[in-house]
Amino acid sequence: MNIAVCVKHAVDEGELRADTSGRPQLQGALSKMGSFDRNAVEEAIRLKESNGGSVTVVCLGGADSKKTLKEALAMGCDKALAVASARALDALATSYYLSRALKKAGPFDVVLLAEGASDTYHGLVGPMLARWLGLPFLGFARKVEVNGSKVRTEAALEDRAESYETVLPAVISVVSEVNTPRYPTLLQIMQAAKKPMEEVTVESLTDEGAPKFGVTVGDVVVQSVDRKKLVFEGPAEETSRKLIDALRKEGLL
Amino acid sequence: MDVLVFSENPHLAAELLSAGAGLAAASGGRAYSVEADSVRQGTHGNALLLRSEVPLLGDPALLAEAISAARKTKVAPVVLIGSTKTGRMVAGGLAVLDQLCVLSDVRDLRVDGGRLTGTRGVYAGKFNALVGGPLPSIALIPQGSYEPFSEPSGPVEEVRVTTGPPKVSREELRSSAKSSLDLRGAKVIVAAGRGLKAKEDLAIVQRLADALGGVIGASRPLSSDLGWLGEEYHIGLTGVYVHPDLYVAVGISGQIQHVAGIRDSKVIVAINRDKQAPIFQVSDYGVVGDLYEVVPALLRALGRP
C-alpha cells in the first residue's frame, strides 16, 4: 500500500510570546512538527505495519520543514518530500501545491493528514486536498481500518459519531485520539539521515490552475483579556466561601 | 450583494443569517439561508432550498457541490458557513470548486472595497489576526459571534441542483437526537478534567453544575481519550468553543488547546491542586486545593450538600 502523510512545520504555540508591542515574536520562535500531525504520521506508519507498503511524508513550507520531515522519517516513514515555499500560503494554495506534489510522487492509496494545524488551525487543507485530487474525504477520524480495497473510519463530530466507508484511494484526516504517537529511538534518528529526501519548489509546481489570490493576514496582536487571577489558598471551607462571595459580587449567583 | 448562509446546526444558521443580513443590507442585497433536501422547522428569513437526485444533508462533499451549483443561478459574492467540522468540510470543497478564499473562524465581518475582512484567533487563540480576502469569499463563523436572526420565515426559493453520486457511505453511530446538549449556548459551564480520578466522580461535578444552574463539559482527555463523556462535551481548540457567563474548570490543568476554547468566557474559575497549573494564569478566581474537598465544600456553601 502506497501511503502519503502531509505534515506542517508549525510555530510552537505553547512557547510563543508577544513582544513589547503585543505582536508575536516569530523571529527565533520555537517551531516543531504540528502537535496533531504526529498522530497522522503515527497512523500512516501503523497502516504500513499492518498492510505493508511504504510511507512518504510530505511537508510544504520553508527551510525549517526539513526538521519535521527528519522527525517523521525517524518515526518510521520511508521517504520524505519537501515542497519548498519561500512565503506562507493560505489553505487553498497549500492544498493545491500539495495535490500537485502528491500527483507527481504518487499514485497513493491513502493520503493522511491531521484535522488541522496546531498553530493556525483552519481545518481546511484536508477537504480541499481531497477535492483537488478528486478523491473521497473521510474527515476527523478517530479510528481507521483498511480492509483490502476499502477503508472504514469512525468520525468524531461535535454532537455525534459517524462511520464512513469508501473505496481506496481516499484522503483521511485524523483527530488526536486516533493513537498515541511513538518516539523514535536514537538509532532511528541516526538512520533517518540516510533515508531519501526529495525537494520540489512551489514554483516548479505552478501551472494555470494555481490559485491567483489568497487570504491576506494583516496585523496580529496579542489577545488580551485581563483576568483577575485572584487565587485562594487554605482550608476548603474557607476558600470555597471566598469563591462564593466573589461570584455573588460578580452577580453570577 | 446577496449572501448565502449555511449551517447544519440550526442555531448557528440563525446567527449566520444575522451576520449575512447585515452585510447584504449595506448593498441593497438579501441574505438567504441555504436549506438542503427540505426546509427545517423554525427557519428564519429567506430560504434557498437545494434539492438533488440524492440526499445532500450529511454529505459535506455533496453539499459543497450543491451550493456551488446554486451559486450559478444565485450570484452571491459572500458565503457564510458555520464553523463546525461539517462546516469546514463544506467550505473546503466549495472553495476549490468555485475558487474562493476562505476566512476561517472570523468575527467582526466587514465588506470593504471589494474585500471581505474579519478577525480570528491564531496560535491557539493567544493572538488575534486581521484577515481578508477578495470577493467572492467564504467566511467560517463560530457560534456565539452574532445574535440569532429573529424575523419570521420568508419566502422559499427552490433550486434543483445536479451533484455527483455520493463517494462515501455513512452511518450514524450515536444519534444526535439523544444529546440535546449545546455547550455553545450555555450560560454556566462546569468542566471536568484529568484531576478526576474515576468516571463515577463526574457525579459531583454534575452536582456543582446543577447547584450553579449550569451544564457540564470536559477537557479532551475525558471526552476523547478516556471516553467518560461524549465528544459533544469536549471544549477546546478541536472541540467546541464556549462563551458562558461563568466557566468553572475542575481539575483541568489548562493546556493551551483547552484554553483556546474558553477565552470568551466572562468569568473563569479554576479549582486545581497544583498551584503552578497554567489554568490559574487565565482565571479570574482560583482555588488551590483537592477538588474532592473543594467541590463538596462549595456545595455545602451553596446550601446543596
Does the residue B167 lie in any domain? no
Do A214 and B92 make contact, defined as CB atoms within 8 angstroms? no
Residues 6+ apart with CB under 8 A from A168: A109, A110, A146, A149, A150, A151
Minimal Cβ distance to B93: which of A131, A214, A246: A131
Contact B137, B102 (CB under 8 A): yes
Instruction: Kindly state whether residues B276 and B191 are assigned to the same domain.
Output: yes
Q: State whether residue A92 sits within 8 Å of chain B by CB.
A: yes
Instruction: Kindly state whether residues B128 and B240 are assigned to the same domain.
Output: no
Contact A129, A144 (CB under 8 A): no
The domain ranges of chain A are 2-205
Q: Which of B211, B301, B93 is nearest to A235 (CA)?
A: B301
Residues 6+ apart with CB under 8 A from B160: B51, B52
Top residue of A121, A135, A233 to mutate, by most chain B CBs within 10 Å, is A121
Tens-place pLDDT, residues B187-225: 999 999 999 999 999 999 999 999 999 999 999 989 888
Q: Which of B112, B74, B107, B105 is nearest to B91 (CA)?
A: B105
**How would residue A223 be classed by pLDDT, with cut points 50, 70 and 90?**
confident
CA distance B282 to chain A (A): 6
Instruction: State residue B42's pLDDT score.
Output: 77
Instruction: State residue A245's pLDDT score.
Output: 95
Q: How much of chain B, in percent, has pLDDT values that exceed 70?
A: 97
pLDDT at A225 over 80: no
Q: The dihedral of CA A20, A23, A27, A33: what is its sign? A: positive
The angle, 0 to 180 degrees and rounded to 10, between the axes of the packed helices A91-105 and B85-98 is 70
Instruction: Kindly state whether residues B140 and B214 are assigned to the same domain.
Output: no
Q: Which residues pair with B51 in a beta bridge?
A: B160
Number of H helices and E strands in chain A, helices first, is 7, 13
Does the residue B138 lie in any domain? yes
Give the domain CATH number at B228. 3.40.50.1220
Contact A163, A151 (CB under 8 A): no
Most confident of A96-110, A204-218, B141-155: A96-110
CA distance A156 to chain B (A): 7
Instruction: Kindly state whether residues B197 and B276 are assigned to the same domain.
Output: yes
**Rounded CA gap, B288 and B249, in Å?**
12
pLDDT at A200 over 50: yes
Does the residue B170 lie in any domain? no
Q: Cell digits for A250?
A: 460578580
Instruction: Kindly state whether residues B131 and B19 are assigned to the same domain.
Output: yes
Q: Quick one: average pLDDT of A118-146?
A: 96
Tens-place pLDDT, residues B114-168: 999 999 988 888 889 999 999 999 999 998 889 999 888 889 999 999 999 999 9
The residue count of chain B comes to 305
Q: State whether residue A18 sits within 8 Å of chain B by CB.
A: yes
Q: State whether residue B10 sits within 8 Å of chain A by CB.
A: no
Q: How much of chain A, in percent, has pLDDT values that exceed 70?
A: 100
Q: State whether residue B175 sits within 8 Å of chain A by CB.
A: yes
Class of domain A2-205: alpha beta
Chain A from 24 to 53: CB within 8 A of any B CB: 24, 35-36
Cα-based angle B171, B174, B180 (whole degrees, multiple of 5)? 130
| Integer angstrom CA distances of residue A58 from A82, A180, B76 | 6, 21, 36
Mean pLDDT of chain B: 92
Does the residue B168 lie in any domain? no
**Rounded CA gap, B163 and B50, in Å?**
11
Instruction: State residue A15's pLDDT score.
Output: 85
> Which residue reads 512557547 in cell numbers?
A15
Instruction: Kindly state whether residues B13 and B149 are assigned to the same domain.
Output: yes
Instruction: Kindly state whether residues B150 and B13 are assigned to the same domain.
Output: yes
Give the domain CATH number at B149. 3.40.50.620
Chain A from 155 to 194: CB within 8 A of any B CB: 155-166, 175-177
**Rounded CA gap, A10 and A119, in Å?**
6
Instruction: Kindly state whether residues B145 and B293 are assigned to the same domain.
Output: no
**How would residue A191 be classed by pLDDT, with cut points 50, 70 and 90?**
very high
Do B125 and A211 make contact, defined as CB atoms within 8 angstroms? no
Instruction: Kindly state whether residues B254 and B205 are assigned to the same domain.
Output: yes
Measured between beta carbons, which residues in chain A are less than 8 angstroms from residue B245? 252
Instruction: Kindly state whether residues B126 and B256 are assigned to the same domain.
Output: no
Tens-place pLDDT, residues A20-63: 888 999 888 889 999 999 999 999 999 999 999 999 999 999 99
Instruction: State residue B193's pLDDT score.
Output: 96
**Rounded CA gap, B288 and B273, in Å?**
5
Q: State whether residue A229 sits within 8 Å of chain B by CB.
A: yes
Do B127 and A223 make contact, defined as CB atoms within 8 angstroms? yes
**Rounded CA gap, B83 and B96, in Å?**
18
| Residue A160 φ then ψ, to 5° | -165, 165
pLDDT at B239 over 90: no
For B91, nearest residue in chain A (alpha carbons): A124
DSSP state letters, B81-99? EESSHHHHHHHHHHHHHHT
Measured between beta carbons, which residues in chain A are less than 8 angstroms from residue B290? 236
Pairing mode, if any, of strands A150-156 and B267-272? Answer: unpaired
Of B11 and A152, more confident: A152
DSSP code of B222?
Answer: I
CA distance B187 to chain A (A): 10
Instruction: State residue B175's pLDDT score.
Output: 57
Instruction: Kindly state whether residues B140 and B186 are assigned to the same domain.
Output: no
**How would residue A197 be classed by pLDDT, with cut points 50, 70 and 90?**
very high
Q: Quick one: average pLDDT of A125-144?
A: 97
Instruction: State residue A222's pLDDT score.
Output: 85
The beta strand positions in chain B, using DSSP E, are 3-6, 31-36, 45-51, 78-82, 101-103, 107-112, 115-122, 127-134, 137-141, 153-160, 169-174, 188-192, 215-218, 246-250, 267-272, 285-288
For B172, nearest residue in chain A (alpha carbons): A162
**How would residue B180 be classed by pLDDT, with cut points 50, 70 and 90?**
low
Contact B14, B4 (CB under 8 A): no
Rounded to a whole number of angstroms, the distance between the first and last alpha carbons of chain B is 58
Q: State whether residue A208 sits within 8 Å of chain B by CB.
A: no
Tens-place pLDDT, residues B250-278: 999 999 889 989 998 999 999 999 999 99
Structural domain boundaries enclosing B211: 176-301
Does the residue B52 lie in any domain? yes
Residue B117 Cα to chain centre, angstroms = 20
Do A14 and B212 make contact, defined as CB atoms within 8 angstroms? no
CA distance B103 to chain A (A): 7
Instruction: State residue B24's pLDDT score.
Output: 94
| Residue A104 φ then ψ, to 5° | -70, -40
pLDDT at B305 over 80: no
CA distance A105 to chain B (A): 22
pLDDT at B177 over 60: no
Q: Cell digits for A63?
A: 527551510
pLDDT at A219 over 90: no
Q: State whether residue B177 sits within 8 Å of chain A by CB.
A: no
Tens-place pLDDT, residues B69-101: 999 989 999 999 999 999 999 999 999 999 999
Number of domains in chain B: 2
CA distance B291 to chain A (A): 9
Pairing mode, if any, of strands A79-84 and A54-61? Answer: parallel
Q: State whether residue A232 sits within 8 Å of chain B by CB.
A: yes
Minimal Cβ distance to B267: which of A211, A233, A252: A252
Q: Which of B113, B121, B68, B117 is nearest to B95 (CA)?
A: B68
Instruction: State residue B178's pLDDT score.
Output: 43
Does the residue B171 lie in any domain? no
Q: How much of chain B, in percent, has pLDDT values that exceed 90?
A: 75
| Integer angstrom CA distances of residue A214 from A65, A91, A94, B8, B71 | 22, 9, 10, 27, 20
Q: Which of B189, B197, B201, B221 is nearest to B296 (CA)?
A: B201
